Structure 1
Amino acid sequence: MHGSGLHLGQAAVAGTIIVAEGFLNRDTRDSLTPAEQSYLHDSFKYTGGGLALTALAARGLFRSGAAFRIMSANPWLVLGVSLVGSIGSMMGVYYTPPEKTVQKHLCWLAFNACQAATLSPLFFFSPAILSRAALYTCGVVGSLSYVGATATNDKYLYMGGPLLAGVTVVALSALAPMALPMGMRGLAIAESISLYGGLAVFGGFVLYDTQKILQHARMAEMGVVPRDPMKEAIALELDMINIFIRLVQILAMRSNNRK
């Protein structure tokens, strides 16, 4: 036990040195323009508001017993309804013009309601695990957003294709145990890809989406695209939710191993 703790500490120190070295010596822009600052700020306001609504609604569904009924239902039916509702409401946010304020906000509320229904069973986990996962998620996303916002223009936009490929691999690794006969070692490998690979992929998406917001801010300032921070917030919200879910699973798994 002492040896594993020592190795973990050494790994943490080495990782911190590497990250700090790369962070301090990376290329950065001088500053954000007022238009970029305003667009990024508004996008994060909708992200934070959406996550707060999702958390409150998920808590309410859990306390009402709806979360138990969701877990007791057919998992494929729940997955199908959740996907249809989430994708449909997300498309509503994406394709409703910003001028149609009421309709766009209704789609945004429906999207967050779908996320709340999907996430409500997470409240069966210990509150300590959920609070730690939320704290870690805020730290990870806040740090990566800062890196993305201060990096030189479009530095991380090339990552779109590789990240989509990474999401495909992560999704297939999560679904593989349900469709294929796998031994214990195969299950462990698939779980590791889904959890730790998912953390890496969605961390990369935070960088990508932050720089995409800044790119769209410049385009909106030139009148090329409409200004739509609510649309931008959906991507960041999904990034944070996926990171949070994986951190909850990792923390719960480690808690069970200690027992």
Structure 2
Amino acid sequence: MEAASSFFESRSRGWNVNSLMNFSHLNSRVQLHLRKVYTTLCLSLLVASLGVYAHMLVNLGGFLTSMAFIGCVMWLMSVPSYEEGKRWKILMGASFLEGLSIGPLIDLCNNLFPDSGLVLTAFLGTIAIFASFSGAALFAKRREYLFLGGILSSAVSAMLTLRFCSYFFGGASAMFNLELYGGLLVFVGYVLFDTQLIIERADKGDDDYIQHTLDLFMDFVSIFVRILVILTKNAGEKSRKEESRRKRSQ
């Protein structure tokens, strides 16, 4: 018993708030860069939420805003990194357009299940997943998750190939589920990979926090959309089962 108690005491001394917030393995330049990245990411998510709200008011989101978002991303990548102010505005514009683009999905979920809180649940779940895996990448050993880059790229290529094949050989439903759940795992993996890649690039002098913010923003939105679709799909299946039970009981 004494040995067990001493073990847990030593573990409790090792895990405290100070040790949790200890980023001594990252130099001051990288820490400053990460603060700028995550601050800009929070602003981007806020602007995206304004885009969702704008869609709710005037129904602007759709295919055109999705294409405009892709155009903004390409524009951002073409602007030199020293034009920071211009690139920051483009990033905020892209975030607003992405909010408009996912607005119809959120609107549909609210219309189908108005009192379920699916959107809030999906958002909080995304925050929890993103924070957990981003934190794991920050506290892990340097370059520990960079090997995921090749695996994740291969997984994306495989899913695209399977989607193309499903157009000719059928299996659209199975392909949808594979893309939904497999895509969620892939983008969770990208949170690990992108976070460590940002650290490595910042350590080597790459201080393009706007591009790095865009990478994490797209990871966050991709996870959120998939969680929301999964929750909506499950809620729909539950609703159909309850409806069939009521019909059988009548």
Q: 1:173 to 1:194 in 2, by over 3 A?
A: farther
Match of 2:217 among 237, 240, 258: 237
Alpha-carbon offset, residue 240 of structure 1: 0.7
Alpha-carbon offset, residue 143 of structure 1: 0.3
3-state DSSP of counterpart to 1:137: helix
Return the TM-score normalized by structure 2. 0.77
Give 1:71-110 correspondences, 5 Å limit. Answer: 78=63, 81-82=64-65, 84-110=67-93
For residues 229 and 213 of structure 2, what CA distance do their matches in structure 1 show? 24
Q: Gaps spanning 5+ residues in structure 1: where? A: 1-23, 71-77
Tell me if 1:180 matches 2:168: yes
3-state DSSP of counterpart to 1:155: coil
Summarize deviations over 1:32-58 as a string: whole Å, max 9, x none.
222221111111111111111011112
Tell me if 1:213 matches 2:190: no
For residues 206 and 101 of structure 1, what CA distance do their matches in structure 2 show? 24
For residues 247 and 93 of structure 1, what CA distance do their matches in structure 2 show? 28
Summarize deviations over 1:221-252 as a string: whole Å, max 9, x none.
xxxx4x21111000101001111111011101
Match of 2:121 among 113, 128, 132: 132
Q: 1:107 to 1:175 in 2, by over 3 A?
A: farther
Give 1:1-259 correspondences, 5 Å limit. Answer: 31-67=25-61, 70=62, 78=63, 81-82=64-65, 84-122=67-105, 123-126=107-110, 128-173=117-162, 179-180=167-168, 182=170, 186-220=171-205, 225=206, 227-259=207-239
Bigger Rg, which one: 2
For residues 173 and 243 of structure 1, what CA distance do their matches in structure 2 show? 21
Match of 2:245 in 1: none
Superposed CA RMSD: 2.4
Return the TM-score normalized by structure 1. 0.74
For residues 120 and 161 of structure 2, what CA distance do their matches in structure 1 show? 29
Question: Residue type matched to 1:245 in 2?
Answer: V
Alignment identity in percent?
23
Question: Residue type matched to 2:142 in 1?
Answer: N
Contact 2:37 2:213 in 1 (8 A): yes
